[in-house]
Structures are given as structure tokens and as C-alpha cells.
Structure 1
């Protein structure tokens, strides 16, 4: 009988304590596996879902809720904003790209996003099959929508009202798939895109005519003129604010960056920029996704929106960092729990092997009398502890990935971000840590076996 067979025989003679040690080790490894993969996947999604988006503008409310609803699509919107307000803001010289989005419906949990073709630029998207929409009720679907719902170009589907899959179905307004997006490893893979008019029409909202791409080459000079005038008015307003502060003792405060911010009423500030800057005709959208034209816009656009309009501006970078920090507290707590469980597993292995030695001391003495060296006895006990924790570690990894897969299947379709079968580099260290715990736990029993004295044990017999 070779050494491994002998070790396995010794392990199977005490199934109760062995299974307990394996379970404790596997639970600790599984929890750490889930933590590592969840944290890694979440961090990647934070990056992928905010690629070129510097600012999100929406209705007043919670900035975090605005980010969650508009970028990650895992929460309800804070409300609607006037489309013309959003367009005027997007036409300022500080904004390179401004894309409105409108929420309201879903298809089996996949959210329907009314938007413009420029939305694809924000996420560097491309169409794998088909083409972009050209008229209302034509939709471009994400790769995961096509895979999970078995949709392809030419298929039709009906959306449900609201953001829950069980909402009222709009049977009178079928959507037709005209394109499928390439996989981008972002939330867009689980979204359905269409034009803004489709979202308005499906809810019976009357709206004014807009071109689908909203590009008007014949009006470029007029748009540039409006942009220049808006910039000059904003600059002159800032100079007026500075002079007013310097020569009066009126109420004022100082911004965190040292700039002086006037506390004049909102109406006065809007009027000083121009009465036509935020005039609205009635069309509404959920949010406006903005990419800055220059770093200087970071300190101008959010203040302009928050202080001078009925809208709010939220920074994806800031709110995502805050969200990840909140999540990190929970992950750290779970990690501590996992380390405690693995420590208890090590103690269990130690007690198991130590008690087993008392029952096998005569077997060890006979092995010594038959020519087995002290080193061989030491090695046998050490390998026992190693095998028990190694088995627990492997089972823990399998259990951890199975748990992630189950969570992914039960999660919202737009929150499908966990890479259940992705092998994280930290998993190797988990196996090594489990093996190390087994070796340390078996060290004292192994030394006891090493010091086995044949004469003393047989005399006690």
C-alpha cells in the first residue's frame, strides 16, 4: 500500500470530522471566491458603463438614483426633464456630445431606451447584424437580449409598461428588430434601443416633430451663432458676478475651489444668460448623457445646471466611487467572516488529526517496528491535513462559481454583470491558503507522530 492510499484510508476512517473540516474549508473559500469575482466584475462594469460619459443631467432628486437609473438601469428614474432644456444645454460650447434618453418600458426585464444614434458613440458600439433604426417602432437589441430571448433581425415583440416585466403589455404597438449590437461587456448588452418618438408614441404622448438624428447642416451657422452668444453671455455674467461681489456687501459665499458664487435668485441668473436658453415646448426625456468638450467644463456645467435650472447634474465618477465604497463595506465584512470560517476549519483539522493519533498510536508503533521511519509518519499526518483542506478548497471554488451563476440567473436582466465562470487570479491563492491552513493544522499532530516511541506504546498495550 503506497502512502496516498494509506492517507486516504486514514481519512475515511473518521468521516464525521473529515466532512466537517471539508465543509468549513469549502464555505470559507466559496465566500472569498464570490467576494473576489463580485468586486472585480463590479469594478469592470463601473468602467464599461461610464466610458465616455462625464455628466448625467436629470430631474431633481437623488444623484445616485439618477446614475443608477440612467447608466446602470437598476433603479427607477428621478423624473423627467424638458427635451428643449436638455438640447439647449447640449448646444453650449462646453459640451462635445449630449445624448438624451427616455425610459418607461421593458421587454421581459430588458429595458427599452429611447435615444438617438449618438448613443452608440458614448459606448463605442457597433452593429453586428442589421442596421440602425430609421423610423418609430424599429429597435436595435443588445447581444444578451438576442441570446436570452432568441430574437433576431426581423422578429417582433411587445413591450410592457413600466420597468417591471409584469407590467401592462402594449399589444397595439409591436416593435420590430432591425439590428443586433456586438457584445460590448457593458449594460447595453441587456438593453433595447429605439428612437425617442417610439417611447412617446407607445404611451400616447403627443410630441412635436424631430429628425431622428437631429442633425441640421443647413442650420450650422445659426447653431454656432447661438453657441457663441450663450458663451459670451455666460462669461459676461461671471464678470458681472465678480464685480458685484467686489463692490457690494450683499450675501455671498465661496465655492470649494475658491470661486465666488453669487446667491442671486434662479430667475435672475437665467434671465442674465438669455431668456431663450431654457425655453421649453413640452417634449420630455428621462436624462441627458453628456461628454465634456474640455476639462474646464467640469467646473462650469454642473454648477450651471444645479444652480440655474430645475434639473440636477450628477457625476458618474463621483457617484460610482461612492457606490463602490458602500459596497466595499459589505464585501469587507463578508471577507472577515470567510477568514474566521477558514480559521475554524484549520482548528477542526487540528482537532481531528490530534484525536485520530490517539486511536492510531498502536498502528503507528507497528509501522515503526516494521521499518517505517519517523519522517514517513510525520509526512503521512502532514499529507492528511493537506488533502482534507485541498479537497475543501476545490469544492469551495466550485460552490462559489455555482452561487454566482445562480445569482446571475435570478438578478434583473439589466443587472446581469457577474462573470460566473470567469477564473479570477486570486482563486489560486485561495487554494494555496487552504493547503497552508491544512499543513499548519497538521504540524503539531505530525510532530507527535514523529516522536512515537515503539517500546513505550507497546508497553502500554
Structure 2
């Protein structure tokens, strides 16, 4: 234990140089850890939320925007499509499952999604309590919604117009909570599900009470729900988009082209658009990773310079320790442990900073994708890397201390 105390006091005594080394190590570690954390968790969430969906049908526009809105619920709709047109697509022989979506309202920042019970089948969601609502203005809450707001079966909630929290409340038509979903670690945890007819009635009601000034905006975000997509009378009704699962792999080559060329709708593939998204993100993440490695190498160089200069300034002190009976190996350990301590402290501080940054990013509205306090193998690898860099940086000063001649040093 004495050797640890000596090393710690040496670091504190030389705080200015030690602090610079710790800062550089922490900064490089934080950036590298954050890059690995974001890329791994976003990749996991993209796979989790889109693995059961082969195609998304929606209004013409950006296919990436359509995917982000309909699957990940982090963007605005490209527009609305006629439910009657969507139903014709759902009846195609190559379609196994078609799930209608309609959005435009929120509950205190959580999106209210009009759909039908096939949404639960598509995502393999389980109900922790209650059941799927069969009546209008009945809601099934995602796990995170119920937990964050302390809601249970029978509670009333009031939606607001728009996809972000606002004051335009539909307080004359509250929803009754009839079910709560089990935790799925997907975007469904942060959704409020209701039937499409509830959304239709809500917006029809909004037109009556808010007048023509809101009509264009309501048309843009209007959502509809169908209890049975293939049988319900939906003349003139609209939805935001529709999620498709194919019956067989043959549809991959034929179905999207058919939709894009023969209808006024667009078909977007989650696999293709997700790959495109990652290619866009990958450039920035790679640049940050390179910067992190440069900073960590600079930190290792700084540790080396600090220890080497410290060795030269403490040669007499080390020689006195030798003359008082300290073996050579103790001097070797002192220098090695000093380098390891500095880089390990920096690495641990960097990991904490990375998770704090991830928490701040998640708080900006992408909490569905990032679990800021998830610790994985990345942190272990980065910590071991920091230890190795500290060991390498301290190696030459440690060998110098080990081989220092007592007599020559004391005679100078």
C-alpha cells in the first residue's frame, strides 16, 4: 500500500503536468467511447425497430424521411395518403401483413399513433395489463409513457395537436387508458396507441371548433385508424403511412417498383434507407474516432514527456531511495504505476464524460435510440487501452530509473 501512496503523492505534487495528461486521456477516451456507444446503440435500435418491416408506403417525398417518421417516429410525415388506396395495396397477393399508421397529435411529447391491433403483431408486443381498445378514445400506453407519467388502467389523458408538446389541447375529448404495453426496448415504449377512428373524430372535431384557419394544417397531419383495414368503409379518409410485411422474398424485387410506378404513393425500404443513413453518419463518426485516437496518442506522448522529465528531476531522490535499501524493482514499479495511474484516471473520467454526453443527447429527443447508462464491452476495451498506453509511455522512464547508478548520481 505504501507504493500506491507514494505514486499518488507524486501525481498530486506534479499536478500541473499530471492534469494535462489526464485531460488529454479523458478527452480522447470520452470521444472514442461516445462514438462507439452511439454507433452500437443506434445500430441495435435500427435493427430492433425495422427487422419485421419490409416496406413502408406513404406520400411522395423523401424516402428517408418516410422511414424516420413511420418506423422511428423522429421526423415529420411526408404527407397523407388515401386509406382506400392503401387498402388496395394491402390486398395484394404478395402482402402478408399491412399496418396503417396515422399521426399528428401528442401527449406531453409522446406521439399518439392511430393504428389497429395488427401493430402489436408486427412488433411482437405484449400487454403488461389491460387489452387493446375496441372503442373510440381508448388508448394503450407504451411502457415508458406509463412509467414516466405514472399512469394506469382507467386514467384519462388529453392529447395536443402536433408532434411536439404544445398548448393546443384536445381537452374536450380525453383518452381513457385501457392497456399498458410490456417493456420492449423499442420505439413502441414511447408511443400512445389508439384506433384510427379516434384520430378521425378528434380532427373532425378540431375542424368544427378551431375553424378554417387550421384546416390546411389539420389536413397535413390528419391520422386515421381502421379496425379492419380490408372491410371498413373509409371513403375519403386518409392515413399517414402503412407498414408492409411480405409473404415471400419474391416481393422484394417486384413490389416497391410496382407501387412507385403505378400509384401516386411511394414505397421506401427500411433496409436501403437505414444503410443510407448509416453511410451519412459513418463519415462523421469515423472522423470523430480518428480524432479520439490522435488525442489518446497525444496523451501517451504527454505522459512519456512528463515521466521522463520527472525522472530527470528526481534522479537524486531515486538514488537516495536506492542507497537506503530500496531495490531496483521498486523504482521500476514506481515509474510504471505512475504512468498507469494517470492514464487509467483519465480513461475512467473519459468514460463518465461520454455517458454524460450521451445522456444530454438522449434528452434532446432521441431517447428511443440511446440508453445513456448502458455499459458494455466498449468501456472495458477502452479502459484496457488506456492502461496499455500508460504502460508503454512509462516504460522508458521506468527502465532509466531501474538502471540508474547510485554512485554516479550522488557524486554529481
Give me the TM-score of the superposition, normalised by structure 2.
0.92
Question: 1:177-188 counterparts in 2 under 5 A?
Answer: 177-188=177-188
Report how far residue 156 of structure 1 moved: 1.0
Equivalent position of 1:63 in the other structure: 63
The 1:38/1:291 distance shift into structure 2, 3 A limit, reads same
1:291 aligns with 2:273: no
> What CA RMSD, in Å, does the superposition of the two structures yield over aligned residues?
2.1
Deviations 1:119-147 (A, max 9, x none): 11110011111111111110001000111
Corresponding position of 2:284: 330
Checking the alignment, whether the CA contact within 8 Å between 1:51 and 1:122 is kept in structure 2 is: no
**Which residue is 1:256 aligned to?**
none
* Equivalent residue number for residue 344 of structure 1: 298
SS in 2 for 1:204: helix
Picking from 217, 227, 250, the partner of 1:212 is: 227
In 1: Cα distance, 2:230 partner to 2:153 partner: 27
The answer on whether the counterparts of 2:196 and 2:225 sit within 8 Å (CA) in structure 1 is no
**Is the Cα–Cα contact under 8 Å of residues 103 and 111 in structure 2 kept in the other structure?**
yes
Structure 1 CA distance for aligned equivalents of residues 226 and 45 of structure 2 = 32
Q: Secondary structure at the match of 1:48?
A: helix
Task: Give the 4+ runs in structure 1 shifted more than 3 A.
Answer: 213-216
**What is the match of residue 229 of structure 1?**
none
Give the corresponding residue for 1:72: 72
**Residues matched between the structures, number:** 396
Rounded Cα–Cα distance in structure 2 between residues aligned with 1:192 and 1:84 = 25
Which residue of structure 1 aligns with residue 172 of structure 2? 172
Tell whether the 8 Å contact from 1:140 to 1:179 is kept in structure 2 after alignment: yes
Equivalent position of 2:372 in the other structure: 420
Cα distance in 2, alignment partners of residues 358 and 85 from structure 1: 81
Are residues 210 and 387 of structure 1, via their aligned partners in 2, closer, same or farther at CA, if it must alter by over 3 Å? closer
Bigger Rg, structure 1 or 2: 1
**Residue aligning to 2:397:** 445
Is 1:107 the counterpart of 2:107? The answer is: yes
Report if the CA contact (8 A) 2:200-2:225 is conserved: no
Cα offset for 1:214? 4.5
| Partner in structure 2 of residue 246 of structure 1 | none
Aligned to 1:377: 331
Q: Alpha-carbon deviation of 1:2?
A: 2.7
In structure 1, the partner of 2:133 is: 133
The SS at the match of 1:203 is: helix
Q: Once the two structures are superposed, what CA deviation does each residue of 1:281-337 show, in whole Å capped at 9, x if it has no partner? A: 311000011100111111222111100110000001110111122122211111111
442-451 vs 116-125, greater mean Cα deviation: 442-451
Separation of aligned partners in 1, 2:249 and 2:168 = 44
Structure 1 residues not aligned, in runs of 5+: 220-278
- Local SS of the residue matching 1:163: coil
Structure 1 residue 170 displacement after superposition: 1.4
Aligned-partner Cα distance in 1 for 2:234–2:104? 21
Contact 1:36 1:424 in 2 (8 A): no
